[in-house]
């Protein structure tokens, strides 16, 4: 982005100084992550710089060792189920809260987003006590329901933000043409709020895929998610396979962020707003 022509010399210097400062802060934040990624190619079985050689054996162990590959499959299974449930429940809640005459809207919204505010350790203890009375501790269903409770607020917030700029006269127009409520939703509402729904679904997926505290309380010894396997690996035996797993997670998170940015730009185009 070029400097505006009307900027003075001092404003131009400040313009570039702020950007250099932001770049340095960003580098400071991501440097620890970047420093770990090369270690995943280390040929030795310990962490050291400079590396004596390069090898892909830790990635081979990550993808083909049943202990790690099983954890990856478990994480994807739980995250996909959580995403489906959280997206459906969060979208329905946002549609209900978007109604102008909805009673106690602020109170219900505060309750819905409370899992984002309450420390996760408190949520984990409460879920463990509640699920123990229902015999859900140690089951995959218990983990999926717990992750759904943690992920649904993200869907509610993103879909609510999308609905804030939604023209509700389109719904009335569809109804006046004789369309049933479900037809209006799938033909009129859903295409317009789809970017918000997908953004919320991605947040829900990442929330579930990266969560470890609740899994520590609720998972059985056989049901190990990837974050739990990494946590256990750090406690029991520090292996460079953990760095390979961390690198894969960083790449997945980066892909999610790029997708979210593309969805944001698409949403702005649909609303007729110039992308920033």
Higher confidence at residue 184 or residue 225?
225
In sequence order, what are the residues at sequence separation of 6 or more whose Cβ sits closer than 8 angstroms to the Cβ of residue 148? Answer: 82, 85, 86, 89
Closest CA to 58 of 31, 33, 30, 38: 38
**pLDDT tens sequence across 250-262:** 888 888 778 777 7
Of the listed ranges 96-110, 140-154, 163-177, 224-238, the least confidently predicted one is 163-177
Q: What would the mean pLDDT of 270-275 be, rounded to a whole number?
A: 53
Mean pLDDT of 39-51: 74
- For 126-130, 136-140, 160-164, 186-190, which range has the lowest pLDDT when averaged over its residues? 186-190
pTM exceeds 0.85: no
Question: Rounded CA gap, 27 and 266, in Å?
Answer: 28
Q: Is residue 54 classed as helix, strand or coil in its secondary structure?
A: strand
- Which is more confidently placed, 22 or 114? 22
Band (219; pLDDT cuts 50, 70, 90): confident
Structure confidence by residue, pLDDT tens digits, 5-35: 777 777 788 888 898 999 999 889 888 888 8
Neighbours of 262 (CB within 10 A): 12
pLDDT of 73 > 70? The answer is yes
pLDDT higher than threshold 60 for residue 272? no
DSSP per residue, 71-105: HHHHHHHHHHHHHHHHHHHHHHHHHHHTSTT-TTH
The DSSP 8-state label assigned to residue 239 in this structure reads -
pLDDT confidence tier of residue 79, bands split at 50, 70 and 90: very high
Arithmetic mean of pLDDT over the chain: 81
């Amino acid at each position: 982005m070029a400097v505006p022509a009307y900027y003075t010399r001092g404003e131009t210097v400040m313009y570039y100084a702020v950007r250099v400062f932001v770049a340095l802060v960003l580098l400071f934040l991501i440097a620890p992550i970047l420093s770990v990624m090369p270690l995943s190619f280390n040929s030795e079985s310990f962490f050291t710089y400079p590396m004596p050689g390069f090898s892909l054996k830790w990635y081979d162990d990550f993808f083909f060792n049943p202990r790690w590959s099983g954890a990856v499959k478990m994480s994807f299974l739980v995250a996909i189920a959580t995403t489906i449930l959280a997206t459906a429940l969060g979208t329905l809640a946002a549609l209900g809260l978007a109604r102008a005459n909805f009673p106690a809207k602020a109170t219900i919204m505060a309750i819905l987003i409370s899992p984002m505010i309450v420390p996760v350790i408190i949520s984990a203890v409460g879920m463990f006590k509640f699920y123990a009375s229902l015999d859900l501790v140690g089951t995959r269903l218990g983990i999926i329901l717990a992750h759904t409770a943690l992920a649904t607020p993200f869907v509610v917030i993103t879909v609510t933000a999308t609905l804030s700029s939604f023209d509700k006269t389109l719904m009335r127009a569809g109804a006046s043409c004789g369309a049933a409520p479900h037809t209006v939703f799938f033909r009129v509402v859903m295409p317009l709020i789809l970017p918000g729904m997908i953004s919320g679904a991605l947040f829900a997926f990442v929330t579930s895929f990266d969560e470890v505290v609740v899994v520590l309380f609720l998972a059985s010894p056989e049901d190990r998610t990837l974050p739990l396997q990494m946590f256990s690996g750090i406690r029991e035996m520090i292996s460079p396979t953990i760095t390979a797993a961390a690198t894969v997670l960083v790449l997945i998170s980066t892909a999610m962020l790029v997708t979210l940015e593309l969805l944001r730009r698409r949403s702005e185009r649909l609303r007729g707003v110039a992308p920033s």
